Structure 1
């Protein structure tokens, strides 16, 4: 499993060297965009809005727009220094809470935690302590130049770090439009709804849920491939230096042919003259 972060995590005086591994994967089917006329892939270029010319990667800088049309340019060296200063810090568990107190709206992404060299015993200690106390740890960590709030918990005998949103990143539910302020339902309607919920209630078994759209899309793609309903992208012919050189040489030969034909008779005449004198 690929390691995407190395560091250490601590609670109290206990320090655990760890590695993070992405716990989930995106299985969305990536579709390419093609030119309908020739089926060649579409190229997206970075173009300056003023110069109207393509900008090379080395000509691009990053900046913060503090007001419309005005920016603070940030040097890559400063950003890299800031990132390293924060990423190299040990991640400290700052609180322990019950996971039931955290609403699922806060959860973002999951990472498996494995002990790095020498961290096995401390890893086991934290895992056992979390299980016995039925608590989760709250910590801060910098991942990919972004500070994250995180929950550390146990999942199937493995420590998992769940990044969660900061409170100011969660929009207020009160701002959602057209939400009824009161429940205008009858007792009969409510009893019927609860009965339906009871009938559909079961144990959560994640294996029985599948992405039906993705499965159907893959089947459609495969059926088209098997039926030879495919296209081949057109290729652009690019003149090479070798081709250009050969063309230039041939043109030179063609240009010199008339000169050679004109020069041939005098040489023949000269040879005849010498023979007669002999």
Structure 2
């Protein structure tokens, strides 16, 4: 399993060297966009609209747009220094709370933690302490240049890090339009709704839920592939060096003719004509 982060988790005087691995993966079927006429993949290139040309990676700088079309340019070294300053800090569990106190709206992404080298004993200690107390840890950590608020808990005998949103990242429910106020509902309707919920109540078995759209899409793709309903993207024609050379020579010749100063023809006098005779 690929390691996405490596560092130290600490609580009190206990330090645990750990490796972090993504606990989930995106199973979306990614579709490419082709040019309908020639079936070639569409490219998305970095172009400067003012200079009207493609931009190389080394020509690009990062900036923060603080007002419309006004930016603060941030040097790459400055960003690296800030990032390193945070990464060098051990991830410290600052609080322990109950999991049910955190609404699911705060949860973002899950990662597995595994002990690194000599960290097995301390890892086991934290796991046992979390299991015995039924608590979860709240910590801060740097992941991909962003300081994350995180929950540290147990899942199937493994310590898991759940990144969670900061409060100011969760939009206010008051801003949601057209939410009705609390209204009285008919007792008969409420009893019927509760009865329906009771009938559909069961134990959570994640294995029984599948992405039917993704399954159908993959089946359709496989059928088309088996029936040879496929296309091949055309490659951009490479320039012919011989043709290019001839074009370059012709262009040079034409330019030389244009640049060549014109010689004035001398007028022949009557006396010169007689001598010539």
Q: TM-score, normalised by structure 1?
A: 0.86
Equivalences for residues 129-148 of structure 1 within 5 A = 129-148=129-148
Aligned equivalents of 1:104, 1:232: Cα separation in 2: 45
Q: How far 1:182 sits from its partner (Å)?
A: 1.6
TM-superposition CA deviations, 1:192-251 (whole Å, max 9, x none)? 000000000000000000000000000000111111111111222213548868999xxx
Aligned equivalents of 1:140, 1:10: Cα separation in 2: 11
Aligned equivalents of 1:15, 1:65: Cα separation in 2: 40
Aligned equivalents of 1:57, 1:137: Cα separation in 2: 41
Matched, 1:217 2:232: no
Aligned equivalents of 1:139, 1:93: Cα separation in 2: 4
Aligned equivalents of 2:34, 2:22: Cα separation in 1: 32
Give the superposed CA RMSD: 1.7
| Runs of 5+ unmatched residues, structure 2 | 249-277
Aligned equivalents of 1:154, 1:71: Cα separation in 2: 44
Aligned equivalents of 1:226, 1:83: Cα separation in 2: 49
Q: How many residues align?
A: 248
| Runs of 5+ unmatched residues, structure 1 | 249-278
Equivalences for residues 6-155 of structure 1 within 5 A = 6-155=6-155
Q: Helix, strand or coil: the match of 2:89?
A: coil
Q: How far 1:183 sits from its partner (Å)?
A: 2.5
Q: Which residue of 2 aligns with 1:272?
A: none
The 3 A distance-change label for structure 1 pair 243 and 52 is: closer
Q: How far 1:46 sits from its partner (Å)?
A: 1.4
Equivalences for residues 265-276 of structure 1 within 5 A = none
Q: Which residue of 2 aligns with 1:168?
A: 168
